Chains A and B, each alone.
Chain A
């Protein structure tokens, strides 16, 4: 999208939307959510809706909290809703990403979208031999 603005603005916009979703007055002007009498193929994204997908993983995303800038990109893109953003928990007081490995299926999308390469995909075998 054009005019995304600086990283700082972008962040505040993303955060702002999270809080304001559906409640901004300008949006209400143009949008009315009216159910209509139809069948919608929707579901609520919840961890575990497809079972414990953590067992699918062959590679594990590992977050480097030092590098993470708390931009929420991985959080936005994760198809399984398994990125948990911990507010102000980073070493520099920034928001930081962490991952619920119970359900993370290891698709690598988070590592791909991270703008600062803070997520590394590590072979699962590494963790098996360690334990």
Chain B
């Protein structure tokens, strides 16, 4: 394999291999010397743990793979292994993530570093396996750090980094690395896989605050007084704030070692001199960059600000780049029903709604959104701002080339197929 050959020659500090986003995460897990992986298969995550299983069975990775009966158990086992004192990892998507939701709180509240990959996907009903951010954003308040990759390279780099950040004594909280289902997970891109020695240099031995072992039993999850509970939550919040500094340090050092700098919680593409800004998370921010170039050619000075980290929230960076803009367009790939997209709500509060702001809901359930759609969205919003001076629209749906403001606006209706309707009519007529 190319990787091994390069490792032997030692010419470069990494090897470029074309791979899917899921493979990139699996390699990151191997390079981080993870000792226990527990997982349950779910599309589009499955390849990650399949690949890890393959690496283990080939003898390339020294770890224990636990096959469990559900995602709730997957995270419980991962968490248990981590409490026992090893680097542990799991991965999931969509329904799997919401099924393990309870254990997310246990891991964070126990202050145990664990890393999980979330391959983003819509949550049913109805069934849909394609990209959406409702799953990863539902973890927002659990006390996990959350980072979101734009491409396969970043999926690898952020996974390695996440171990270091979560295992820092200033942080001691678990962390999620998000990557978009299919768009990254199943798409092959060239990825530079860093050499093992490089990752060993970057990742110190695992640190954690305590271990629970047989022979020296301590208990976690006991009842504590309300006041102590509140102080515990205050401490978690404080650690999340500290995590900002830890991320910056780790990102800077990773940059020195690999040439890829992650010292900022955001990625800013031509946003310093921009009048307008796209803000968003995940892979489609790559399309937003192309849209920025296209728009600048048309005379509209756009920029793109991607939130690489969602927790801790890049409050300072957003304000630095966003406060003075004419308008900020927040792209959301999920909706908090009855209000707006979750990313919009966060960005809007950080910017105190000072610039004109429009929350665009698009690409939900994997609907394709490319840079041409983004140009269209940008021109629409710029037109609104020109016309009205200042606008503030929390939820503007962009669906198949049309705009649907949440209020008042008509929404597209899709009829259920006639044969289904016939059955329903029969059912309803019996009831009345």
Contacts and interface: CB of A to CB of B under 8 A. Distances in A.
Interface residues of A, number: 30
Given A33-B209, A41-B110, A1 B64 contact: yes
Contacts of A27: 85
Contacts of A76: 214
A48 interface: no
A42 interface: yes
Interface in A1-56: 1-3, 14, 17-19, 21-22, 27, 29-45, 49
A13 to B, nearest CB: 11
Contacts of B172: 36, 38
Interface stretch (B4-12, B140-148, B215-223, B287-295): B215-223
A12 to B, nearest CB: 14
A21 to B, nearest CB: 4
B206 interface: yes
Contact of A31 (B109, B169, B206, B224): B206
A30 B213 CA distance: 16
Given A1-B64, A36-B170, A36-B172, A41 B220 contact: yes
B297 to A, nearest CB: 51
A36 B41 CA distance: 35
B205 A17 contact: no
Instruction: Classify chain B: how many residues form its interface, as a range.
Output: 35 or more
Contact of A18 (B206, B215, B219, B228): B215
B102 interface: no
Nearest to B221: A41
B235 A39 contact: yes
A22 B213 CA distance: 8
Contacts of A32: 204-207
Contact of B111 (A1, A2, A40): A40
Given A31-B208, A34-B209, A42-B210, A2 B64 contact: yes
Contact of A34 (B67, B85, B207, B231): B207
Nearest to A35: B209
Contact of B213 (A3, A21, A39, A42): A21
Q: Which of A17, A29, A31 has the most CB of B within 10 A?
A: A31
Nearest to A42: B218
Given A29-B205, A31-B86, A39-B235, A44 B219 contact: yes
Given A35-B169, A41-B221, A21 B215 contact: yes
Interface string A71-82: 000001000010
Interface in B215-246: 215-222, 224, 228, 231-232, 235, 239
Contacts of A38: 111, 172, 209, 235, 239
A31 B210 CA distance: 10
27 contacts: A2-B65, A18-B215, A19-B215, A21-B214, A30-B33, A30-B85, A31-B211, A32-B204, A32-B206, A32-B207, A33-B209, A33-B211, A34-B209, A35-B169, A35-B210, A39-B228, A39-B235, A40-B210, A41-B110, A41-B221, A41-B222, A41-B232, A42-B210, A43-B218, A44-B219, A76-B214, A81-B217
Given A41-B109, A43-B222, 16 more contacts: A2-B65, A14-B214, A17-B213, A17-B215, A21-B213, A31-B85, A31-B205, A31-B206, A31-B208, A31-B211, A33-B208, A39-B232, A41-B110, A41-B220, A49-B219, A76-B214
In the A-B complex, the 3 residue pairs with the smallest Cβ-Cβ separation, listed nearest first, are A36-B169, A21-B213, A18-B215
